[in-house]
Structure 1
Amino acid sequence: MITVVRRRPVLVLIALIVWTKPLNDSRQISYRILDASANRAAEGIRTIEEFARFGLEDSDSAGAAKALRHELAAALSRLNRAELLTARDTEADVGTTLQTAAEYSRTEIADVISAAAERVQQSLRVLEEYGKTIDVEFARRIESLRYRAYTHHRRIELQALAHRRTRRLADAVLYLLIDCGSSEVTFVETIRSLSQAGVDVFQLRDKQASDRELFERAKVGVAIAKDCGALFIVNDRADIALSAEADGVHVGQDELPAIMARRVLGGGRLVGVSTHDIAQVHQAIADGADYIGCGPTFPSTTKSFDAHAGTAFLKQVHEETRQTPRPAFAIGGINPQNLDQVTACGFHRIAVTAAINDAADPAAAARALRRGLVG
């Protein structure tokens, strides 16, 4: 009897160990992952939908996002809701305390949309893979949804980038042409100091540089300009602008037509066109130019012209583009001494080179020009 009494608790304990269901079995783990991923996907889609609705005011993009959200909900209805809720354990989720600096690095709306799109796509993939362990038909539906999300998110991200660029362009008044500089360090310092002094747009124009040097400088310039809140444009070369992920390209009347430059760049980037008469202005607008340069207004030390359109051309552009407005920058020989003649024509945007680059104090020259444009 004594022996039996001593062993009985051991047998009971063994039985409990053998027959007690583990708290984290395979099915529960899958449901916990599915619940978290479903929430992330739905939140990401809603983030994108709100931008399409209130930012872009694009009913097609907003409707596409809404359709994705409802299709996700329909697919999730195949799963056991009670098991999803039971598996949820936010307090015990070790991931809630894991954070990176990038999670709070959202300098603009385009960054928010990009992060949301990546979150949705990754979450849908997780739903698809772990869903296979619960319901194969659910996984198939999620797979189809994931591919549609790729297409929709490509469109919305391009729209977000275009929104950022057009918004900055709309606010831009001072546009500066720069070359590659004597070194990368000098190039970077130029962009940083002059953006702080009021330059809104930088255009890389260097006829002496090799393609490789232009590309390398453009890559650096894009990053620095974005960090400074400025736009970075490449002169003439749509291929380099695209490869370096620049904000756009600027073409003249002898270079690639604007409509072809747009075809090279695709959506989301800016195309600017230099114009010298009103017919060219109307053609640039018809070709979909995002902005135009108008001139030459005065003789220039940077580029020679057989004739100068002068301030009369600026007045004509100001009057004749009221119905089809585009940001228009006066170009050619503009400096602090003749700036008032430009603004008198209704132009409060200028593109310059020597007025800043050749000044004894380029930053001071930039500030002076900006004051003359915006007061």
Structure 2
Amino acid sequence: MPPASPLQSAAKLHQQQDLIPVDSDSQVVDTRVLRIVDANANRSLEGLRVIEEYLRFVLDDPHLTECCKQLRHNLADRLSVIPASQRFMARDIAGDVGREITTEQEQKRPLTESVLVASFQRVKQGLRCLEEYLKTLNAPNTPQLESLRYEVYELEKSVGITFHSQQRLSDARLYVLMDGGDNEQQLISLTQRLISADVDMIQLRDKRLEDGPLLERARLIRNLTAGSSTLFFVNDRPDIARLSGADGVHLGQSDMCLHDARKIVGTEGLIGISTHSLEQALQAVGDGANYVGVGPIFPSTTKNFDTFPGLELLNSVALQISLPVFAIGGIDQHNLPQVLGTGCSRVAVSGAVLQADDPDRMAQAFQLQLQA
């Protein structure tokens, strides 16, 4: 065996001088590693708390707040493998050479979102440091820390998509679902009337048309909505949405999964999910949906349903998530106040507008109620 280098010998001597007992069996651990563990445990826990406060008071999202809180408690539990007393004994604030090292960027947070972004970075970096240095102590919870780090990645994704979706759909209140019409001229006329009535979102939902005609209809609507404030979505078909240049796609529970649809429509395409239970709505948040449709709320004149989760479900979803929520199913001007009473201010309608004698005037009437 070759002789140890001077650097290796010095490191070994230094390590021997920085050991403290961990328990009554006289096991010892490098205090320098304990200092790293202590600093990054504090960094990670503090960062999660900062994130939690944003989710609670800024995003106002009970579901994501609970997810973050559970992560924080799980991390504290994983860290219990190193007794707090040992961390305290190794802590040396006065001797921390990095204590006074700061950057100008750290002193500036122009937006509350800047605090959120910086905190996520702090937590991820802290968890990686914990994961790596605890390996040198043969800590049994290292794999669980890796799992927690991936959970933080998932939380960051859900928070980021929720924030982005709120921005993209901030003014969207009225979502009108329509078929491809009997002919192109009829479709063009109706689409133009809806756009002039300031309908926020239009969805092409047609089970009759073959792929070719469906794509042609989708491209017509896209051309008409381009340059307007009206967003255009295609029902069920990410491929048609992508080829037509639509703003997004809407998927049902039995359609292509969101993960696969995202590969088709890309990162700029919006994806909505139909949900019929609170569990499905929460899953949609985790999967990365940009909005959820919740229903059916009432019996519909355009689609048959076996059950009606109704206003109770809508209220539960509206109270739990801050992702944009659209109530759907049998909504008209008469029962709209009941929908608004749940805290949901977005609706998706079809027959109530399209079967009216004057669709654009009915759409305007809906907008007045929704914006009141």
TM-score of the alignment, normalized to the shorter chain, above 0.5: yes
Deviation at 1:357, TM superposition (A): 0.6
Deviation at 1:168, TM superposition (A): 4.4
1:175 is paired with a residue whose SS is strand
Partner of 2:287: 287
Deviation at 1:228, TM superposition (A): 2.4
Partner of 1:363: 360
2:285 is paired with a residue whose SS is helix
Matched, 1:310 2:310: yes
Q: Residue 165 of structure 2 contacts residue 291 of structure 2 at CA under 8 Å; is this kept in 1?
A: no
Matched, 1:181 2:181: yes
1:1-375 alignment runs, 5 A limit: 167-321=167-321, 325-375=322-372
- One-letter code aligned to 2:220: V
* Cα distance per residue 1:81-139 (max 9 Å; x no partner): xxxxxxxxxxxxxxxxxxxxxxxxxxxxxxxxxxxxxxxxxxxxxxxxxxxxxxxxxxx
Deviation at 1:318, TM superposition (A): 1.2
The higher radius of gyration belongs to 1
Q: 1:283 to 1:272 in 2, by over 3 A?
A: same
Larger proportion of helix: 1
- One-letter code aligned to 1:233: F
Name whichever of 166-175 and 190-199 sits farther off: 166-175
* Cα distance per residue 1:173-193 (max 9 Å; x no partner): 000001111222221221221
- One-letter code aligned to 1:192: Q
1:228 is paired with a residue whose SS is coil
Q: Residue 165 of structure 2 contacts residue 324 of structure 2 at CA under 8 Å; is this kept in 1?
A: no
- One-letter code aligned to 1:343: L
2:366 is paired with a residue whose SS is helix
Q: Distance in 2 between matches of 1:168 and 1:333?
A: 26
2:170 is paired with a residue whose SS is helix
Q: 1:168 to 1:187 in 2, by over 3 A?
A: farther
* Cα distance per residue 1:31-90 (max 9 Å; x no partner): xxxxxxxxxxxxxxxxxxxxxx99x9899xxxxxxxxxxxxxxxxxxxxxxxxxxxxxxx
Partner of 2:139: none
Q: Distance in 2 between matches of 1:202 and 1:340?
A: 22
Q: Distance in 2 between matches of 1:166 and 1:237?
A: 23
Deviation at 1:373, TM superposition (A): 0.6
Deviation at 1:211, TM superposition (A): 0.5
Q: Residue 275 of structure 2 contacts residue 281 of structure 2 at CA under 8 Å; is this kept in 1?
A: yes
Q: Distance in 2 between matches of 1:213 and 1:205?
A: 13
1:333 is paired with a residue whose SS is coil
Q: Distance in 1 between matches of 2:186 and 2:170?
A: 29
Q: Distance in 2 between matches of 1:249 and 1:238?
A: 6
- One-letter code aligned to 1:313: L
Runs of 4+ in 1 over 6 A off after TM superposition: 56-59, 163-166
Q: Distance in 2 between matches of 1:312 and 1:289?
A: 22
Q: Residue 165 of structure 1 contacts residue 231 of structure 1 at CA under 8 Å; is this kept in 2?
A: no
Q: Distance in 2 between matches of 1:242 and 1:164?
A: 20
Q: Residue 165 of structure 1 contacts residue 247 of structure 1 at CA under 8 Å; is this kept in 2?
A: no
1:261 is paired with a residue whose SS is helix
**TM-score if structure 1 supplies the norm length?**
0.55
Partner of 2:38: none
Q: 1:318 to 1:164 in 2, by over 3 A?
A: closer
- One-letter code aligned to 1:366: A
* Cα distance per residue 1:192-225 (max 9 Å; x no partner): 2112213110000010111111101111111211
* Cα distance per residue 1:150-169 (max 9 Å; x no partner): xxxxxxxxxxxxx9986442
Deviation at 1:300, TM superposition (A): 0.5
Q: Residue 198 of structure 2 contacts residue 230 of structure 2 at CA under 8 Å; is this kept in 1?
A: no
Q: Distance in 1 between matches of 2:181 and 2:188?
A: 9
- Contiguous gaps of at least 5 residues in structure 2: 1-109, 118-162
**TM-score if structure 2 supplies the norm length?**
0.55
Partner of 2:145: none
- One-letter code aligned to 2:337: D
* Cα distance per residue 1:256-279 (max 9 Å; x no partner): 111221122111110000000001
Q: Distance in 2 between matches of 1:198 and 1:341?
A: 23
Q: Residue 293 of structure 2 contacts residue 327 of structure 2 at CA under 8 Å; is this kept in 1?
A: yes
- One-letter code aligned to 2:241: A
1:274 is paired with a residue whose SS is strand
Q: Residue 184 of structure 1 contacts residue 217 of structure 1 at CA under 8 Å; is this kept in 2?
A: yes
Partner of 2:30: none
- Contiguous gaps of at least 5 residues in structure 1: 1-52, 60-162
Q: Percent identity between the aligned chains?
A: 42
Q: Distance in 2 between matches of 1:165 and 1:192?
A: 26
Deviation at 1:227, TM superposition (A): 2.7
Q: Distance in 2 between matches of 1:172 and 1:219?
A: 22
Q: CA RMSD in A?
A: 2.4
Equivalent pairs, count: 218
- One-letter code aligned to 1:305: F
